[in-house]
Chains A and B, each alone.
Chain A
Amino acid sequence: MSEFLHMGGYAFYVWTSYGLAFVLMLVLFVSPMIEKKRLIAGIARKLRRERREK
């Protein structure tokens, strides 16, 4: 196991690459979910305001 993590001495380079890929792909996945919540909340807020003004 520790030999696997050691990556023949290249652990820093290999695991930084995989880690960065993981983080970036996670950010790319989560950000549109947050954006969708924000969008729908914004549209709903506008609808409520319109109804109050009527």
Chain B
Amino acid sequence: MNIFMRFYHRLASPRHFYQIAGQWIPWLGAISLILLAWGLYEGLLVAPTDYQQGESYRIIFIHVPAAWMSMFIYLIMAIAGAINLVWRMKMAEVVLVSSAPIGAVFAFLALVTGSLWGKPMWGTWWVWDARLTSELFLLFLYLGIIALHGAIEDKRTAGRAVSILALVGVINLPIIHFSVEWWNTLHQGSTVSVMGGSKMDSRMLRPLLIMSFAFKFYYGMILFMRARNEVLDRERNTSWVRQIAEGKAS
């Protein structure tokens, strides 16, 4: 068995996942904190004023990384859902369930910061254009997944149900992304693209990318923290969890 497969199988075992994740959490947190500090410094102090929107555009350094995270986390959840449905892998279910509240928070943050940006620039807190509406739908998908998982008693059934919902909702991701191209929207088009140049000064683009990496590591840390709790809860009757509980409590 090669190293990758061994690593995969170790992570697939709840007990080993608990250990490995526990070792990773401080590192993920430290990297995220350093990137956050660097990104905030660059975004608030180094990045120049925008020619059109003045200082208000600095909301972008929260808004855009949060919106990206809300889509990125959903994609992770849909992939975990597919893995769970096909391979019945317990850890995929744990990743899906643990990610949902984090994704919901980022979707909410993207919507509220967008609103706080829209009021001074567009002149309104909210419009029902395709971009804003599809992002709101994403928040509702997250809330639906959380609610559905809470509503079903049996963990395995609940896991399968949310896997299907996560997978069905993945259609919304391309709709969010292309909404500004397919329809007339009040929201502007994409500034940053993987292919081809970004329509942004490099001193503004740098903090945006740093912040988005900071958010990614932050997500990794919170995901591991939540997943460890989920594992503890599910394995509460095994001897290794009992040992942890005894060590801490007696």
Contacts and interface: CB of A to CB of B under 8 A. Distances in A.
B249 interface: yes
Given A13-B56, A16-B116, A17-B59, A32 B226 contact: yes
Given A13-B116, A14-B56, A39 B222 contact: no
B31 interface: no
Contact of A17 (B116, B236, B245): B116
Interface string B219-250: 00110011011001100100001101110111
B204 interface: no
A38 to B, nearest CB: 9
Contact of A14 (B59, B105, B225): B59
Contact of B113 (A21, A28, A29): A21
Nearest to A18: B62
Nearest to B55: A8
Contacts of A8: 49, 54-56
A40 B58 CA distance: 42
A34 B14 CA distance: 21
Given A14-B56, A21-B109, A25-B218, A43 B241 contact: yes
Size class of the B contact interface (CB-based, 8 Å):
35 or more
A7 B56 contact: yes
**Interface secondary structure of B, over-half rule:** helix
A28 B55 CA distance: 28
Given A8-B55, A13-B117, A28-B222, A43 B232 contact: yes
B236 to A, nearest CB: 5
Interface size class of A (residues with CB under 8 A): 20 to 34
B169 interface: no
B120 A10 contact: yes
B225 A33 contact: yes
B62 A44 contact: no
B78 interface: no
Given A32-B226, A33-B225, A36-B232, A13 B242 contact: no
A13 B232 contact: no
Contacts of B117: 13, 17
Given A32-B222, A32-B229, A36-B228, A47 B245 contact: yes
A11 B112 CA distance: 16
Nearest to A36: B229
Given A7-B55, A47-B242, A41 B108 contact: no
Ordered nearest first, which 7 A-B pairs have the shortest CB separation?
A44-B249, A8-B55, A10-B56, A43-B245, A32-B225, A7-B55, A17-B113
10 contacts: A7-B56, A13-B119, A18-B62, A20-B113, A24-B108, A27-B105, A32-B225, A32-B228, A36-B232, A43-B242
Interface of A: 4, 7-10, 13-14, 16-18, 20-21, 24-25, 27-29, 32-33, 35-36, 39-41, 43-48
